[in-house]
Structure 1
Amino acid sequence: MQNNIVRYDLPASLVVFLVALPLSIGIAVASGAPVVAGLIAAIVGGIVCAVVGGSPLQVSGPAAGLTVVVAELVAQFGWKATCAITAAAGVLQILLGLSRVARAALAIAPIVVHAMLAGIGITIALQQVHVLLGGGPRSNAWQNLASLPAQLAAPQWATVLVGGLVIAIMLSWRFAPPAIRAVPGPLVAITIATAVSYLPGLGTERITIDESVVEAIGLPEMPQGSWTSIALAVLTVALIASVESLLSATAVDKMHTGPRTDFNRELVGQGTANASSGLLGGLPVTGVIVRSTANVGAGAKSRASAALHGVWLLVFSVLLVDIVEMIPMAALAGLLIVIGVQLVKLAHIDLARRTGELVIYGVTLGCVVFLNLLEGVLIGLVLAIAFAAWRIVRVSILAEDLTSRLGTGGPPRWHVAITGSCSFLALPRLNAALSDIPHDAEVFIDLNVDYLDHAALDALQEWITQHRDRGAEVTVTETGTARMEFAHSRPPRRDTEGRRVIDALRLIWPAQLASGVNRYSNGLAPLVRAGMTTGTAHDPHTMLLTCADARILPNLITDSAPGELLNVRNVGNLVGADLSVESALSYALNRLTVRSIGICGHSGCDAMHDLMHDSADGSMGRWLDHGADSLAAFRAYHPVAAAAADAGFTGADQLSVVNVAVQVDAVRRHPQVAARLADGSVNIVGLFLDLATARLYLVDSDSITETDQHGAPVTLTTPK
Structure 2
Amino acid sequence: MTVKPLNATTARRDVLASFVVFLVAIPMSLGVAVASGAPVAAGLIGAVVGGVVAGVLGGSPLQVSGPSAGLTVIMADLVHTYGWAATCTIVVLAGLLQLALGACRVARTALTVSPAVVGGMLAGVGVVLILAQLHVMLGGASRPDALANLADLPGLLAAPDAQPALLGLLTIAVLLGWTRLAARTPDAGLGRVLHLVPGPLPAIGLATVLAYALRWDAPRVAVPGSLLGDLPATAWPHGAPPAIFGAVVSVALVAAVESLLCAVAIDRRRPIGVPRADLDRELLGQGASNVVSGLLGGLPVSGAIVRSSANVEAGARTRLSTVLHGVWVLVLAVSCGPVLEQVPLASLAALLVVLGAKMIDVSRLRDLRHHREAPAYVATLAGVVVLGLGEGVLLGIAVAAVLALRRLTRLSVRVEEAVPSPDDRPGQASWHLVVEGTLTFLGVPKVTSALQRIPAGVAVDLDLDVDFMDHAAFDAIHQWRLAHERQGGRVDIDEVHESWYERAVTGDMSAPRKSTPSTRWWAPWASRRRRSENVDLDAPEVSPSALLLAGVREYQGGTARLVRPIMAELAFEQKPQHLFITCVDSRVVPNIITASGPGDLFINRNVGNLVPRYGTRTPDDAVAATVEYAVNVLGIRTITVCGHSNCGAMAALLAGGTEVEHLRSLTRWLKHGQHSLARFLSAEPDGRAPLTRLCQTNVQQQLDNLLTYPWLKDMVQAGEIELVGLYLDIGTAEVQVLDWTAGAFVPVRAETPEDAPEDGADDAAPEPRAVT
Task: Show the counterpart of 2:631.
Answer: none
Work out whether residues 4 and 301 of structure 1, in 8 Å CA contact, stay in contact via their aligned partners in 2: no
Task: Show the counterpart of 1:480.
Answer: 497
Going from structure 1 to structure 2, the CA distance change for 1:341 and 1:472 (only over 3 Å counts) comes to same
Task: Show the counterpart of 1:638.
Answer: none
Among 192, 209, 225, the residue aligned to 1:179: 192
Going from structure 1 to structure 2, the CA distance change for 1:419 and 1:43 (only over 3 Å counts) comes to same
- CA separation in 1, counterparts of 2:161 and 2:155? 12
How far does the alpha carbon of each residue in 1:374-393 deviate from its partner, in whole angstroms, 9 at most, with x for none? 11111111211221122122
Among 424, 427, 431, the residue aligned to 2:448: 431
Q: Could you say what secondary structure the match of 2:228 adopts?
A: helix
Work out whether residues 17 and 311 of structure 2, in 8 Å CA contact, stay in contact via their aligned partners in 1: yes
Work out whether residues 109 and 381 of structure 1, in 8 Å CA contact, stay in contact via their aligned partners in 2: yes
- CA separation in 1, counterparts of 2:652 and 2:461? 51
- CA separation in 1, counterparts of 2:225 and 2:215? 29
State the 1:457 CA deviation. 0.9
- CA separation in 2, counterparts of 1:644 and 1:160? 71
Work out whether residues 212 and 317 of structure 1, in 8 Å CA contact, stay in contact via their aligned partners in 2: no
Going from structure 1 to structure 2, the CA distance change for 1:517 and 1:437 (only over 3 Å counts) comes to farther
How do residues 267-282 of structure 1 correspond to structure 2 at under 5 angstroms?
Answer: 267-282=283-298
Task: Show the counterpart of 1:147.
Answer: 152
- CA separation in 1, counterparts of 2:300 and 2:648? 72
- CA separation in 2, counterparts of 1:314 and 1:413? 81
Task: Show the counterpart of 1:551.
Answer: none
How far does the alpha carbon of each residue in 1:150-204 deviate from its partner, in whole angstroms, 9 at most, with x for none? 1111111111110001111111212324233121100000000111113437321
Q: Could you say what secondary structure the match of 2:540 adopts?
A: strand
- CA separation in 1, counterparts of 2:314 and 2:512? 49
Amino acid of the structure 2 residue aligned with 1:346: V
Task: Show the counterpart of 1:195.
Answer: 209
Work out whether residues 531 and 537 of structure 2, in 8 Å CA contact, stay in contact via their aligned partners in 1: no
Q: Could you say what secondary structure the match of 1:54 adopts?
A: coil
How do residues 13-412 of structure 1 correspond to structure 2 at under 5 angstroms?
Answer: 13-176=18-181, 177=185, 178-181=191-194, 182-200=196-214, 202-257=216-271, 258-403=274-419, 408=424
Is 1:559 paired with 2:551? yes
Q: Could you say what secondary structure the match of 1:544 adopts?
A: coil
Task: Show the counterpart of 2:750.
Answer: none
Going from structure 1 to structure 2, the CA distance change for 1:464 and 1:323 (only over 3 Å counts) comes to same
- CA separation in 1, counterparts of 2:553 and 2:204? 67
- CA separation in 2, counterparts of 1:470 and 1:306? 78
How far does the alpha carbon of each residue in 1:287-345 deviate from its partner, in whole angstroms, 9 at most, with x for none? 10100001111111100000000000001001111111000111111111001001011
Work out whether residues 59 and 292 of structure 1, in 8 Å CA contact, stay in contact via their aligned partners in 2: yes
Q: Which moved more, 1:148-157 or 1:405-414?
A: 405-414
State the 1:253 CA deviation. 0.6
- CA separation in 2, counterparts of 1:378 and 1:345? 21
Task: Show the counterpart of 1:441.
Answer: 458
Work out whether residues 486 and 498 of structure 1, in 8 Å CA contact, stay in contact via their aligned partners in 2: no
How far does the alpha carbon of each residue in 1:581-602 deviate from its partner, in whole angstroms, 9 at most, with x for none? xxxxxxxxxxxxxxxxxxxxx9
How do residues 632-711 of structure 1 correspond to structure 2 at under 5 angstroms?
Answer: none
State the 1:403 CA deviation. 1.7
How far does the alpha carbon of each residue in 1:612-669 deviate from its partner, in whole angstroms, 9 at most, with x for none? xxxxxxxxxxxxxxxxxxxxxxxxxxxxxx9999589xxxxxxxxxxxxxxxxxxxxx
Amino acid of the structure 1 residue aligned with 2:146: A
Work out whether residues 258 and 302 of structure 2, in 8 Å CA contact, stay in contact via their aligned partners in 1: yes
Is 1:544 paired with 2:558? no
Amino acid of the structure 1 residue aligned with 2:540: L
Going from structure 1 to structure 2, the CA distance change for 1:211 and 1:367 (only over 3 Å counts) comes to farther
State the 1:138 CA deviation. 1.6
- CA separation in 2, counterparts of 1:207 and 1:372? 28
Task: Show the counterpart of 1:575.
Answer: none
Going from structure 1 to structure 2, the CA distance change for 1:20 and 1:555 (only over 3 Å counts) comes to same
Work out whether residues 91 and 271 of structure 1, in 8 Å CA contact, stay in contact via their aligned partners in 2: yes
Aligned-pair identity (%): 43
Work out whether residues 21 and 313 of structure 1, in 8 Å CA contact, stay in contact via their aligned partners in 2: yes
Going from structure 1 to structure 2, the CA distance change for 1:8 and 1:126 (only over 3 Å counts) comes to same
Q: Could you say what secondary structure the match of 1:451 adopts?
A: strand
State the 1:543 CA deviation. 4.4
- CA separation in 2, counterparts of 1:59 and 1:16? 8
Q: Could you say what secondary structure the match of 2:229 adopts?
A: helix
Amino acid of the structure 1 residue aligned with 2:241: W
Amino acid of the structure 2 residue aligned with 1:345: D
Work out whether residues 396 and 418 of structure 1, in 8 Å CA contact, stay in contact via their aligned partners in 2: yes
- CA separation in 2, counterparts of 1:644 and 1:206? 73
- CA separation in 2, counterparts of 1:34 and 1:403? 79
- CA separation in 2, counterparts of 1:406 and 1:192? 85
Going from structure 1 to structure 2, the CA distance change for 1:490 and 1:298 (only over 3 Å counts) comes to farther
State the 1:220 CA deviation. 1.7
Root-mean-square deviation over aligned CA pairs: 3.2
Task: Show the counterpart of 2:678.
Answer: none
State the 1:556 CA deviation. 9.9
State the 1:219 CA deviation. 4.1
- CA separation in 1, counterparts of 2:406 and 2:74? 32
Q: Which moved more, 1:293-302 or 1:132-141?
A: 132-141
Going from structure 1 to structure 2, the CA distance change for 1:187 and 1:647 (only over 3 Å counts) comes to same
Work out whether residues 36 and 216 of structure 1, in 8 Å CA contact, stay in contact via their aligned partners in 2: no
- CA separation in 2, counterparts of 1:643 and 1:304? 51
Work out whether residues 125 and 384 of structure 2, in 8 Å CA contact, stay in contact via their aligned partners in 1: yes
State the 1:227 CA deviation. 1.4
Moved segments of 4+, more than 4 Å: 404-412, 488-493, 515-519, 528-532, 538-543, 554-558, 642-648, 690-694
State the 1:475 CA deviation. 0.6
Q: Which moved more, 1:479-488 or 1:306-315?
A: 479-488
Amino acid of the structure 2 residue aligned with 1:309: H
- CA separation in 1, counterparts of 2:361 and 2:133? 19
Going from structure 1 to structure 2, the CA distance change for 1:269 and 1:437 (only over 3 Å counts) comes to same
Going from structure 1 to structure 2, the CA distance change for 1:489 and 1:369 (only over 3 Å counts) comes to farther
Task: Show the counterpart of 1:607.
Answer: none
Q: Could you say what secondary structure the match of 1:151 adopts?
A: helix
How do residues 604-615 of structure 1 correspond to structure 2 at under 5 angstroms?
Answer: none
Q: Which one has the bigger helix percentage?
A: 1
Among 474, 478, 487, the residue aligned to 1:470: 487
Q: TM-score, normalised by structure 2?
A: 0.65
Amino acid of the structure 1 residue aligned with 2:435: I
- CA separation in 2, counterparts of 1:235 and 1:471? 65
Larger Rg: 1
Work out whether residues 41 and 229 of structure 2, in 8 Å CA contact, stay in contact via their aligned partners in 1: no
Amino acid of the structure 2 residue aligned with 1:442: A
Q: Could you say what secondary structure the match of 1:138 adopts?
A: coil
The answer for unaligned runs of 5 or more in structure 1 is 500-514, 520-527, 533-537, 547-553, 563-601, 603-641, 649-689, 695-720
State the 1:544 CA deviation. 1.5
- CA separation in 2, counterparts of 1:490 and 1:307? 63
Task: Show the counterpart of 1:8.
Answer: 13
Amino acid of the structure 1 residue aligned with 2:345: M
Tell me how many residue pairs correspond in the alignment: 540
Amino acid of the structure 2 residue aligned with 1:215: G
- CA separation in 2, counterparts of 1:644 and 1:68? 66
State the 1:404 CA deviation. 5.5
